Chain A
Amino acid sequence: MSTTGAKFPTHALGIDEDPWLDEQWNDPSNVYADDGVTASVTGTKFDSGDQTYVLKVDVFNFSSIPDAATILGVICRVNTWYRSGQGSGSMDLMQLLNPSHNRVGTNQCSTPVALTTNNTTIITKGSSTDLWGNALTPAWVKNSAFGVGLGIIATAEDADVDIDYVTLEIYYTGGVNYTLTCESGSYSLTGQSAALRAARKISAVPGSYAYAGQPVDLKVARKLTASPGSYLLTGQDAVLRAIRKIAAAAGSYAYTGQDANLLLGHHYALVCEPGYYGEPYSKIFVTLDGRIYKKMGNTYLRLS
């Protein structure tokens, strides 16, 4: 449920409509604001039983009510009183106006409400669920002719009555157009600097080239096969050194050196296969168990 809040009229006029046709209102437009300045009836002939003209107040601004809304209720508030020592009166008319400016529906003051001399007295009629006997619509209440007709009956001789202000408040539901205005988001695309490196292929034509540079130490890389788990690998670098093969051309070479004394064990014999050995057998001596033997053919001669 929504409400317009209490709205003041911006137009008012006193109209004689039976039976409210005895006394005209002074300054009807003074009901537009809560300012102590009043519309009034002060004629000396406003006596008991006389009724004021109908004070029709209209041109309220209910433009905030959505066109598709449902009107639920109307509340009217009138700040009114009679002047002390100037008779007395009662409000006997409070009825809504239709778009034709005619009074329609329930007269909320069909049972007159007695005024007081207190200028702060507010007569309140209607409620948030009271349509005053009308099928009110947004188009109706937003029409400039919509308003309320008010009337006062004198209850003593030479009454003076005042109205400071009149308000209408309308309750409604639905038809409200809500909008969620969505702010646009943004995402930034940023990147890191990249180092670009070129690799150039050098092509060479067939021919001879001299290469210079430092020797290369080749180190063996062993393939290590291990079961899953953690291992601590320690050790020294391995250095492979080349073994050179000495090749000799065909021809004669002189060998020099010392004679070799072969010491044999007790049961051992030096057996030479048939062939040429290049050294005279006489130079071969064998020492066995402290004795010296010389090979003679296929046997050994004991010399000592």
Chain B
Amino acid sequence: MATYNKFQDFVEQLGLGVHNLNTHTLKVYLSNEQPLVTDTVKANIAEITDEHGYPAGGSDITNVWSEASGTGTLTGTDVVFTASGGSFGPFQFAVIYNDDVAGDPLVCWWERATPLTCEDTDTFTTDFGASIFTMGP
């Protein structure tokens, strides 16, 4: 299972009211550049070329923010990228950012053990499980 990694700036922007985790469109995109915890916006981490089924900017994770017993939870729908007519990649990182805020501020990222190139008809799925992250006591 890929470890959840935090961008430091996300916490600041959350406190400043930049992110609305329920109504804003969060997207996941693929990169082969190592993210840094100090990165702040999507432009800091190069996205792979949009080709053969991989769309520019990545894909909407259909995020939902909810609260229960004092704990907030961000959930998302698994995203499947399907190579078609050729390959895309290589990539090693899946990064989430807020597409509805100017500058595309970053949220978090995960890392594959090795870089991967999806060949024609291959699929790559980001499986978010029960939640992307929780916030609370």
Using a CB–CB cutoff of 8 Å, the interface residues on chain A facing chain B are 1, 66, 68-70, 173-189
Q: Which B residues are CB-close (under 8 A) to A1? A: 119
B112 to A, closest residue via Cβ = A180
Q: How far is the CA of A180 from the CA of B61 in the complex (A)?
A: 14
Task: For B134, give its contact among A66, A69, A179, A187 (CB under 8 Å).
Answer: A187
Contacts of B2 on A, CB cut-off 8 Å?
Answer: 180-183
User: Judging by beta carbons under 8 Å apart, are B119 and A182 in contact?
Assistant: no
Contact with A along B1-36 (1 / 0, CB 8 A): 111111000010000000000000000000000000
Question: In this complex, which of A68, A176, A182 has the most chain B Cβ atoms within 10 angstroms of its Cβ?
Answer: A182
Q: Tell me the complex Cα distance, A184–B129, Å.
A: 8
A66 to chain B, nearest CB (A): 8
- Residue of A at shortest CB range from B130? A184
- Are the CB atoms of B124 and A180 closer together than 8 Å? yes
B125 within 8 A of A: yes
Cβ-based interface call for B110 (8 A) = yes
Given contacts A174-B83, A176-B123, A184-B131, list 9 more A-B pairs with CB under 8 A: A177-B123, A178-B118, A178-B123, A178-B124, A180-B110, A180-B125, A184-B128, A184-B134, A185-B133
Is B120 within 8 A of A184, CB to CB? no
- A177–B110 Cα distance when bound, in Å, is 18
Chain A residue nearest to B73 in the complex (CB): A184
Can you list 16 contacts pairing A with B, beta carbon distance less than 8 Å? A68-B121, A174-B119, A174-B120, A175-B122, A176-B119, A177-B123, A178-B116, A178-B122, A179-B124, A179-B126, A180-B112, A182-B94, A182-B127, A182-B128, A185-B4, A187-B134
What are the 6 A-B residue pairs with the smallest beta carbon separation, nearest first?
A185-B4, A185-B133, A174-B121, A187-B135, A68-B121, A179-B125
Nearest B residue (CB) for A2 = B119
Establish whether residues B121 and A185, one from each chain, have CB atoms under 8 Å apart when the complex forms: no
Nearest B residue to A172, CB-CB? B119
Knowing A174-B83, A180-B2 are in contact, say whether A189-B137 is a contact too (CB < 8 A). Answer: yes
Knowing A178-B124, A178-B125, A189-B136, say if A184 contacts B4 (CB, 8 Å). Answer: yes
Complex Cα distance, B2 from A181, in Å, reads: 6
A-binding residues in B (CB < 8 A):
1-6, 11, 83, 94, 108, 110, 112, 116, 118-137
- Chain B residue at minimal CB-CB distance from A178: B124
Contacts of B134 in A (CB 8 A): 184-187
- For B110, the closest partner residue in chain A by CB is A182
Separation of A68 and B122 alpha carbons in the complex (Å): 8
CB distance from B118 to the nearest CB of A (A): 7
Residues of A within 8 A of B112 (CB): 180
Q: Distance in Å from the Cβ of A64 to the closest Cβ of chain B?
A: 14
For residue A120, give the distance in angstroms from its CB to the closest CB of chain B: 35
A117 to B125, CA, bound (A): 52
Q: Which residues of A contact B124 (CB under 8 A)?
A: 178-180
Q: Nearest residue in B to A190 (C-beta to C-beta)?
A: B137
Check if B136 sits within 8 Å of A188, measured CB to CB.
Answer: yes
* Structural contact, B116 and A189, CB atoms closer than 8 A: no
- Known contacts A178-B125, A180-B110, A185 near B6 by CB under 8 Å: yes
Residues of A within 8 A of B5 (CB): 185
Contacts of A189 in B (CB 8 A): 135-137
Residues of B within 8 A of A174 (CB): 83, 119-122
**Nearest A residue (CB) for B111:** A180
* Chain B hits for A173, CB < 8 A: 119-120
Q: B105 → chain A, closest Cβ, in Å?
A: 16
Given the interface contacts A188-B137, A189-B136, does A177 sit within 8 Å of B122 by beta carbon?
yes
- Chain B residue with the shortest CB-CB distance to A184: B131
- Of the candidates A69, A175, A178, A181, the one whose C-beta lies within 8 Å of that of B129 is A181
Asked if B136 and A181 make an inter-chain contact with CB atoms under 8 angstroms apart, the answer reads: no
Question: How far apart sit A174 and B11, CA to CA, in the bound complex (Å)?
Answer: 40
